[in-house]
Amino acid sequence: MSMSYWPIVGYGVNLDELYEYLNKDKVNALIRDMIPNEEFEEDVLEDDTFYGGVYTSFAEFLCELDDSKVFSYENDGATTEYFLYQPRYWWKKKSNDPKTAAECDDMIAGVLKKVYDISDEELKTHIDYIDTVGMG
């Protein structure tokens, strides 16, 4: 048996830290608006919408809520998911990439506030540089 490892590097948030602030009603409403022809259980978080259904993970769903399309997601191969801005080479930069850490904080908060009930100040305490590894 062999093991695979991959780097998880960027500026963002560990979604496990925010679970207590998740507003399931907001998630249910957004999913139903985004995919109107799909039939879901009463609570989309309880059916196969995530982890093998429409989205491979909750973090992937968050990327769909990102109008700027500059954020991505990673997981550690177990249960931890990250929503983050990953550094790019200068020739791959997008015109709407955040220019400063404060701008990145505001952009991340703008996405996460769509499904989490948390103040901007509290949310920004969870946003940090992420440098870890995934394995599976």
* Per-residue pLDDT tens digits for 8-39: 999 999 999 999 999 999 998 998 888 888 77
Q: What is the pLDDT of residue 121?
A: 93
Per-residue pLDDT reduced to its tens digit, 46-95: 766 666 677 888 899 999 999 999 999 999 988 899 999 998 888 888 88
Bridge partners, 10 (sequence order):
130
Give mean pLDDT, residues 115-132. 95
Residue partners of 54: CB distance under 8 A and separation at least 6? 31, 35, 38
Question: Between 103 and 3, whose confidence is greater?
Answer: 103
Least Cα distance to 116 among 10, 30, 9 occurs for 30
pLDDT at residue 128 above 70? yes
Q: Is 31 exposed, middle or buried (0-12, 13-18, 19+ CB in 10 A)?
A: buried
pLDDT the model gives residue 47: 65
pLDDT at 112 over 90: yes
Q: Are strands 128-135 and 72-75 parallel, antiparallel or unpaired?
A: unpaired
- Residue 125: predicted pLDDT: 95
